[in-house]
Amino acid sequence: MRLKILVIKCNQLSGLTLNSIRKNMPDWEFDVVDYNGGFIRTALMNSDEICLVVKSGVILDIQEGDLPEKALLEQYDICVSREGVFTDNSDNKHIYGLIGSNLSKKSMDLSVFCINPSRWVRIPDGDAGVLGRVKRLRMPRHMNHKCDVIIPEAVSARVAMDYGMLGEQASVLNYTSVYEKGTANGNEMFAYRLETALEFSEGLPDDARKKVEAVALKTLHRAAKLRKGLAKNLPLGVSK
């Protein structure tokens, strides 16, 4: 199944998303729109059909069977994932509190989601407080392999690597915050497939491209080979 892709431009990394779609998903339709007061608001203002909405900078490689079935999406207002990767993990969920983060299982990530405009009565003014009033479907984990606040400073290298191995099979790579700062520590290089951006950095503004390529090359040389090698021992599809 294919959905229209709505790329919401809110940084200098749109090229990563567009290049990944053109290379990995050449038959998919997509539109690029400017951010306008909220991700949900922007999506509803620019589509009247079920679509996949992504923040600019997210890298896509969606294959057949990765998306929830359209019949299922039609039953929900939105399909969305948690903001905190480990907020439902019994071994690590307590760490958010230890570092002073207020993320919980109720905190949702609006940088990647599927939305069904036909179920929305009105367009909200912004994103705050909206998700608590609508019917939500949980997005599969492989649809949003993402950065997390506890990875760079508060988990072991083993935990970071375990998460990174799952990312080797992910269909959505969401690392915009690292690409924008242009640096990553060891845990981040283990946990995130940052090297993937090297395939898609052509056409980025010079400053953004230099940051993206610097962190991607560093990850390629220091962590990618080990992560990919260990991931080969995972059962096929375990991240999904």
* Rounded CA separation 169/196 (Å): 12
Q: Name residues whose C-beta falls within 8 Å of residue 164's C-beta, 6 or more positions apart in sequence.
A: 190, 191, 192, 193, 223, 227, 231
Q: What is the pLDDT of residues 137-153, one digit of tens each?
A: 999 989 999 999 999 99
Q: Is the pLDDT of residue 216 over 90?
A: yes
- Cross-strand pairs, 114: 52, 79
Rounded mean pLDDT of 33-38?
Answer: 97
pLDDT band for position 240 (cuts 50, 70, 90): very low
pLDDT band for position 1 (cuts 50, 70, 90): confident
Please give the mean pLDDT across all residues of the chain: 95
Query: Can you give the pLDDT at residue 239?
Result: 38
pLDDT band for position 235 (cuts 50, 70, 90): low
* Rounded CA separation 162/227 (Å): 9
Q: What's the Cα-to-Cα distance from 40 to each of 59, 110, 232, rounded to whole Å?
A: 20, 8, 37
* Rounded CA separation 167/173 (Å): 8
Residues making up the chain, counted from first to last: 240
pTM score of the predicted model: 0.95
Q: Are 188 and 151 in contact (CB under 8 A)?
A: yes
Helix (H, G, I), strand (E, B) or coil at 105: coil
pLDDT band for position 92 (cuts 50, 70, 90): very high
Domains and CATH numbers, the chain: 4-93+105-143 (3.90.550), 146-231 (no CATH)
Phi, psi (degrees; rounded to nearest 5) at 55: -70, 140
Rounded mean pLDDT of 90-99?
Answer: 96
Rounded mean pLDDT of 8-31?
Answer: 98
Query: Can you give the pLDDT at residue 238?
Result: 41
- Cross-strand pairs, 129: none
* Rounded CA separation 134/12 (Å): 31
Rounded mean pLDDT of 93-114?
Answer: 96
* Rounded CA separation 203/146 (Å): 23
Helix (H, G, I), strand (E, B) or coil at 140: coil
Helix locations, 49-202, DSSP H: 70-73, 95-98, 151-154, 157-167, 176-181, 186-191
Q: What is the pLDDT of residues 57-75, one digit of tens each?
A: 999 999 999 999 999 999 9
Query: Can you give the pLDDT at residue 233?
Result: 78
Instruction: For tokens 């072991």, name the residue.
Output: 156
Residue 18 token pair: 């567009």
Rounded mean pLDDT of 183-188?
Answer: 98
Query: Can you give the pLDDT at residue 180?
Result: 98
* Rounded CA separation 222/219 (Å): 5
